[in-house]
Amino acid sequence: MKYTLFALIFILFISCSKEKEVDYTAKNEKEIVAYIAKNKLNAHRSTSGLYYVINELGTGAQPNANSTVTVAYKGYFTDGSPFDESKPEGISFGLQQVIKGWTEGIAYFKEGGSGVLLVPSNLGYGSEGRSGIPGGSVLIFDVKLISVQ
């Protein structure tokens, strides 16, 4: 009897601890398209759903998904409220160590290039979110690719 009770409690615990992932794809797409229209951006959409704007392509090396890069950036939500910003000299990291939207998006620029990444939640922090970033959030980044190592 106590093993049955233990098994039931264990099953209840496991089923309660697994939160269902919410699909924000349609909501994010609508939000991004509205933001692009409102701000009159010349954005391109990749097959993954990432939108990007190239203000300056740059003239140096072009990174790939395995590159280490230095990027200056400002991150904010579609309502304009910021959630993160680097120092002007940027921050260095491997493109395999960041959200999928950055791994893909930074590779559209060459050294010296700049633009905007509009990242749906499935390429960002998903439905769970992260400290200061609610689940399902569209993330916008003004980026400047300083260097590729």
52 is catalytic: no
73, 106, 108, 146: the catalytic one is: 73
Q: In whole angstroms, what is the distance from residue 108 CA to residue 131 CA?
A: 28
109 is catalytic: no
32, 36, 99, 140: the catalytic one is: 99
Q: Which of 146, 147, 143, 145 is nearest to 51 (CA)?
A: 143
Q: Which of 133, 117, 113 is nearest to 125 (CA)?
A: 133
6, 13, 23, 84: the catalytic one is: 84
83, 93, 133, 142: the catalytic one is: 83
Q: Which of 104, 111, 101 is nearest to 141 (CA)?
A: 101
13 is catalytic: no
24, 52, 108, 125: the catalytic one is: 125
Structure tokens at 144: 């400047």
125 is catalytic: yes
83 is catalytic: yes
10 is catalytic: no
Q: In whole angstroms, what is the distance from residue 35 CA to residue 48 CA?
A: 18
Structure tokens at 8: 């039931």
Q: Which residues are catalytic?
A: 73, 83-84, 99, 125, 141
